[in-house]
Amino acid sequence: MYFAWTIKHKPKSLSEIVGNKESVQKFVDWVKSWEKGIPKKRAAFLYGPPGVGKTVTVETLANDFRMELVEKNASDYRTEDAINRFAGLSSQYSSLFGGKRIVLLDELDGLTGTSDKGGVKATIDIAKKAQCPLVLIANNAYDPRFSNLRNYCLLIEFKKPPAGEVMKHLKRICASESIQADEDALKFVAQRSEGDVRSAVNDLQALSQGKKRLTYEDVSWLGYRDRQDTIFNVLRMILYGRTCVSAKQAADMADVDVDMLFEWIYENVPEHLTDPHDLAKAMDALSKADVYRGRIRSAHDWSLTRYVIDFMTAGVAMARQNTKAHGWIPFKFPARIQMLSRSKAERATQLNIGHKIKRKCHISAYRASKEILPYLKIIFKNNVDMAVGIAKWLDLDPEMIEYMTENKEKTEAIVKQLSK
């Protein structure tokens, strides 16, 4: 059975938290201050962008300090009565077994807006008189609705950790999963996550499917797709949608164009619709959507786009009749997009080498890449000494040499001799 790596490799101790060391220490000091008596600020307000470790910091602290953690999403308790029933009672009484307790209200952002029915007011009242540590979490602590609440809270900001810290975390996961990952591959994934650790781990798991070695080529095409948080939710709404309307609405949420969304659905349908009859219906719907895509390209009639969306969303969603859930199944990036990205990079490298040959042999770069390059590749794969001389004569960079050898060890040997 598949397990999401964000859960499987979730930090279990404060020492495993990625980045934000000062913020974590500030939070630890505040919790410890309760041992000396009730502090002036009875609530801590942890805030910052998604995926930077706010919630897991509270969870690991409770684990390290052997505290009972009472945790709920505030967005599920919007009314004053609901907040008081949960957080109010929890913050007034000790643990069932007499131990220490910490109360967490996560996703406080969900209390704001027109749907809030006294939830913020109730949270303020609880923060004033809590008898145990009360922790509030939100993405933005400076929402105008939190202006009064902030007065009763210790504000602790969590920032996006640097790519180096994220990369170390990815290395630990690779070691645990017995995956040999190139340094530049992990660096690229970490940088693309933009400080969102959860997103980086999701990316790593998706890119490592069925692999024991992860190279830069395996991840470099990542730049050709949008952030996965949105697209994964969209796919879930389509592949597991119960109504045509909800499946079609998912397409409006996607941050990718119609053609790219088609590729995502096409790639993932076989894994998520395991019943043969369901799969046949879904692929039939996708084939009809593809027919309309062809008509759009040939006739430039963009009004047909609505039929493409109908078939690839509602058509696929309604195909699910007999497929049963079999645990968590990861979504995969479109293999065809990955292949096109790689071939594009490969053609660019071929042309760059062609230009190097052109300057020496006075033929076109295109002709050089087609007629001479294949023979040079044979030499680079079989004769390192001769390859060194050619690489020096053509002034090839390490990337070009690796393309010619298709072997990292031989590339390093050639580059090493060139540097002497």
pLDDT digits (tens, 9 = 90+) for 90-140: 555 554 444 588 888 887 776 654 444 567 887 888 888 888 888 999 888
Q: Is the dihedral of CA 337, 343, 344, 346 positive or negative?
A: positive
Based on the domain organization, do 108 and 185 belong to the same domain?
no
Based on the domain organization, do 374 and 392 belong to the same domain?
yes
Based on the domain organization, do 35 and 64 belong to the same domain?
yes
Based on the domain organization, do 34 and 86 belong to the same domain?
yes
Q: What percent of the chain has pLDDT over 90?
A: 19
Bridge partners for 155 per DSSP: 45
Q: Are 211 and 183 in contact (CB under 8 A)?
A: no
**Chain mean position to CA 279:** 27
Least confident of 12-21, 230-239, 254-263, 338-347: 338-347
Identify the DSSP state of 220: H
pLDDT at 349 over 50: yes
Amino acid 315: pLDDT: 94
Residue 264's domain comprises 228-333
Amino acid 22: pLDDT: 92
pLDDT-derived band at 297 (thresholds 50, 70, 90) equals confident
Bridge partners for 180 per DSSP: 213
Q: What does the block give as tokens for 299?
A: 């006739």
CATH number at residue 62: 3.40.50.300
pLDDT-derived band at 1 (thresholds 50, 70, 90) equals very low
* Cβ contacts of 156 within 8 Å, gap of 6 or more: 23, 26, 27, 30, 44, 45, 46, 47
Q: Are 126 and 83 in contact (CB under 8 A)?
A: yes
Q: How many domains does the chain have?
A: 4
Least confident of 22-31, 72-81, 208-217, 381-390: 72-81
Based on the domain organization, do 192 and 101 belong to the same domain?
no
Does residue 59 form part of some domain?
yes
Distances (CA, A) of 242 to 81, 280, 288, 317: 32, 18, 21, 7
Based on the domain organization, do 232 and 290 belong to the same domain?
yes
Does residue 75 form part of some domain?
yes
Based on the domain organization, do 184 and 105 belong to the same domain?
no
Amino acid 25: pLDDT: 94
Amino acid 227: pLDDT: 46
Amino acid 206: pLDDT: 77
Based on the domain organization, do 182 and 167 belong to the same domain?
yes
Number of other CB atoms surrounding residue 259 within 10 Å: 12
Q: What backbone phi and psi angles, to 5 degrees, belong to 76?
A: -85, -10
Mean pLDDT over residues 368-382, rounded?
A: 84
Based on the domain organization, do 78 and 147 belong to the same domain?
yes
Where is the domain boundary, 298, 333, 368? 333
Based on the domain organization, do 327 and 349 belong to the same domain?
no
Where is the domain boundary, 315, 333, 351? 333
Where is the domain boundary, 304, 333, 362? 333
Does residue 13 form part of some domain?
no
pLDDT at 45 over 80: yes
pLDDT-derived band at 84 (thresholds 50, 70, 90) equals low
pLDDT-derived band at 314 (thresholds 50, 70, 90) equals very high
